[in-house]
A and B are shown apart, each in its own frame.
Chain A
Amino acid sequence: MRRRRKTAGPETPGASPHELPELPAAAADFLDELDADLLLPDRDRIRIHEELTAHLEDSIASLMAEGLDEERAAAEAIARLGRPEALARDLEAARRTTRRLLAGAAGGVFQAGVGALWGLIVGYLALLLVAVLAALLLATIAKPPVDFLAAHLPAFDTDSNDLGLNAVFGAFVLVSAAWFGARRAVLTTYQVSRRNPEQVRAAWAAVGGIGLLGFILFVYSGQQTWLALVAELCIPPAFVLGALKFDWKSHIHLPLWATLSIVVLSVALPVMLLIPASSSGGSGGGPLLEPLQTGPSAAEIAYDRVAPLWGSNSGEVLGADSGTIEQQSQFDMRYSQLNGPALNQFSNIRLEVWHGTSLPKDQAAYDPELVPDPSYGASFLSQSLSPTADGHLQVNLDLSKVRADKWVIFITATGPDGHRYRLNHPESIWSTFHGTVWDWLAATD
């Protein structure tokens, strides 16, 4: 029985299959076995297939010319080539030079960057499309249920600079970038180095995953929030999954259990990080994921009257432009009675007449509650205050390790009449945390 052969690797773009000579069935089966054992890019497999087809054709013709019948000639020609798995192993090893390995690694790194850029664009465009479709859907079909939800759900805080939705969008785009980057890196390294594809995938998954995790944890320094943290920590598992899931031959599959494990871990790890952060409540500050408890009891409020002394800079950093607060580790705030609204009973009272002026650590609140919350207190807040020589109260807050982003402090003092007063105007103070993920995790507020 004879079979007409076509080249292997029909999946290769641009590689048109060539008609090869007819071979005896045994020879064709040998080539099929060899092809199944070869873990090489399609281009190499096609070449080997064509070369050995020609070789077998020559060898069989020569043996038949010596007097063997076709069946015996095919068996002898096959025997001279040895076992297909051994031949496949030797042919693979022949391509694995150090130069190719280095070129493959370098090419993989470059292509990871190209793929990441491509992934960013794809992810961004996909989100745009989803956003447009969602807007159309919400504006037409789903308007009644959306109105119902809007009426019953808490208002979304659009003033916050750490929007949860932004973090989700950011995570999606970054995951897309990591996914595409990993796949291009694996493909390039594999095609150039000709190494075992399983090893290439495993190497990229390990090196890329650990490298990205290390970079995100210890090197990359940026504005951090818990949600940004989740977005950043999505990148390494997405890269690992992209590398391990890459499938260039149909007979190489990542087992379902492995895929599911990675997906579950990718979701579970960031969630596990979030749970302690959110359950620690006020002590952690930051964009709390749960609303604060209702206001403190009367016993916890350490003032009973209000004498607001207007903040000379309305809570902004002295000597710096608004918005550069994250660049500073010190947050300076000055209060002066001279700038505040006059209150009849204290209009002539100087700061010197107040005593016990302090900023207790349990006298802070997470905006917009605007009531002191002892559970929100942080040690960095606690300090005794005394008027400066020029008649101001100066508050120095070290924000270098503070995860809180929007909060209110209450400066209290005992007045001439013996009552405890709140002195400052309770304006929101904004701060942002800049640093690495590790800095953020190590911060204790």
Chain B
Amino acid sequence: MRRPSIRTQLLKGTTPLLVLTVLRDGELYGYEIAQRIRDRSGGAFAPSEGSLYPTLHALEAEGALQAEWRISDKGPKRRYYRVTGSGGAMLAEHDKAWAEFSIGVQAVVRP
């Protein structure tokens, strides 16, 4: 079995944070979400598309996201996601946890 890359492992726990963050600015569908994250990171990384959809569906099941089918600019219908009120609270919580975590990691790795 192939060992997951370090980047994949690091990204795994942050996918909900990344998804909620890019959706904070407006509703997007799955492929756009992946593209938006890739663009914002300057092409440095994007969530695994295999983990993106399970994350979207889990967040929707938890009530953090709402989704609806709509015709996209490109023609065929797409499933658009947007952040709900509880999703906003979840984002704030994830954001705070991430800030504390990254500061802690930085302090250890680059003292």
From known contacts A81-B49, A87-B50, infer whether A94 and B57 are also in contact, taking CB-CB under 8 Å. yes
Give A95's nearest chain B residue, CB to CB.
Answer: B61
Judge whether B54 and A94 touch: CB under 8 Å. yes
Judge whether B74 and A81 touch: CB under 8 Å. no
From known contacts A54-B29, A94-B57, infer whether A59 and B51 are also in contact, taking CB-CB under 8 Å. no
Contact residues in B for A93 (Cβ distance below 8 Å): 54, 58
Judge whether A80 and B50 touch: CB under 8 Å. yes
Contact with A along B49-90 (1 / 0, CB 8 A): 111011111100110000001000010111100000000000
Q: Which of B30-64 contact A (CB under 8 A)?
A: 30-31, 35, 48-51, 53-58, 61-62
Instruction: Give the shortest distance, in Å, between B90 (CB) and chain A (any CB).
Output: 14
* Complex alpha-carbon distance, A253 and B48, angstroms: 34
Judge whether A81 and B31 touch: CB under 8 Å. no
Judge whether A55 and B55 touch: CB under 8 Å. no
A399 interfacial contact with B, CB 8 Å: no
Contact residues in A for B48 (Cβ distance below 8 Å): 80, 82
A47 interfacial contact with B, CB 8 Å: yes
Contact with B along A76-103 (1 / 0, CB 8 A): 0000111100110011011101001000
Give B78's nearest chain A residue, CB to CB.
Answer: A54
* Complex alpha-carbon distance, A90 and B47, angstroms: 15
Instruction: Give the shortest distance, in Å, between B28 (CB) and chain A (any CB).
Output: 12
Contact with B along A279-315 (1 / 0, CB 8 A): 0000000000000000000000000000000000000
Q: Which of A162-214 contact B (CB under 8 A)?
A: none
* Complex alpha-carbon distance, A52 and B48, angstroms: 14
Judge whether A48 and B74 touch: CB under 8 Å. no
* Complex alpha-carbon distance, A347 and B62, angstroms: 92
Classify chain B's interface size.
Answer: 20 to 34
Judge whether A80 and B49 touch: CB under 8 Å. yes
* Complex alpha-carbon distance, A58 and B34, angstroms: 11
Contact residues in A for B31 (Cβ distance below 8 Å): 54-55, 58-59, 62
* Complex alpha-carbon distance, A218 and B35, angstroms: 62
Judge whether B61 and A97 touch: CB under 8 Å. yes
Give A97's nearest chain B residue, CB to CB.
Answer: B61
Instruction: State which of B57, B77, B79 has its C-beta within 8 Å of the C-beta of A91.
Output: B57
Judge whether A87 and B53 touch: CB under 8 Å. yes
Contact residues in A for B61 (Cβ distance below 8 Å): 94-95, 97, 100
* Complex alpha-carbon distance, A319 and B62, angstroms: 66
Instruction: Give the shortest distance, in Å, between B32 (CB) and chain A (any CB).
Output: 8
Total CB contacts across the A-B interface at under 8 A: 66
Instruction: Give the shortest distance, in Å, between A435 (CB) and chain B (any CB).
Output: 48
Judge whether A97 and B54 touch: CB under 8 Å. no
Contact residues in A for B76 (Cβ distance below 8 Å): 20-21, 54, 57
Judge whether A55 and B50 touch: CB under 8 Å. no
Judge whether A91 and B29 touch: CB under 8 Å. no
* Complex alpha-carbon distance, A83 and B77, angstroms: 25
Give B62's nearest chain A residue, CB to CB.
Answer: A97
* Complex alpha-carbon distance, A87 and B48, angstroms: 11
* Complex alpha-carbon distance, A82 and B62, angstroms: 24
Contact residues in A for B57 (Cβ distance below 8 Å): 91, 94-95
* Complex alpha-carbon distance, A57 and B72, angstroms: 13
Interface centre among A20, A62, A80 (most CB of B within 10 A): A80
A71 interfacial contact with B, CB 8 Å: no
Contact residues in B for A86 (Cβ distance below 8 Å): 50
Instruction: Give the shortest distance, in Å, between B3 (CB) and chain A (any CB).
Output: 15
Give B29's nearest chain A residue, CB to CB.
Answer: A54
Judge whether A47 and B50 touch: CB under 8 Å. no
Q: Which of A41-63 contact B (CB under 8 A)?
A: 47-48, 50-52, 54-55, 57-59, 62
Judge whether B79 and A90 touch: CB under 8 Å. no
Instruction: State which of B29, B30, B35, B54 has its C-beta within 8 Å of the C-beta of A90.
Output: B54
Judge whether B77 and A54 touch: CB under 8 Å. yes
Chain A to chain B contacts (Cβ below 8 Å), 29 pairs:
A20-B76, A47-B79, A51-B30, A51-B53, A51-B78, A54-B31, A54-B78, A55-B30, A57-B76, A58-B31, A58-B74, A62-B31, A62-B35, A80-B48, A80-B49, A80-B50, A81-B50, A82-B49, A83-B50, A87-B50, A87-B54, A90-B51, A90-B53, A91-B53, A94-B53, A94-B57, A94-B61, A97-B58, A97-B62
Ranked nearest first, the 7 interchain pairs of A and B with the lowest CB-CB distance are A82-B50, A90-B54, A94-B58, A94-B57, A58-B31, A94-B54, A80-B49
> 8 extra interchain contacts, Cβ-Cβ under 8 A, other than A21-B76, A51-B79, A87-B54?
A50-B77, A54-B77, A58-B74, A81-B49, A83-B50, A90-B50, A94-B54, A95-B57
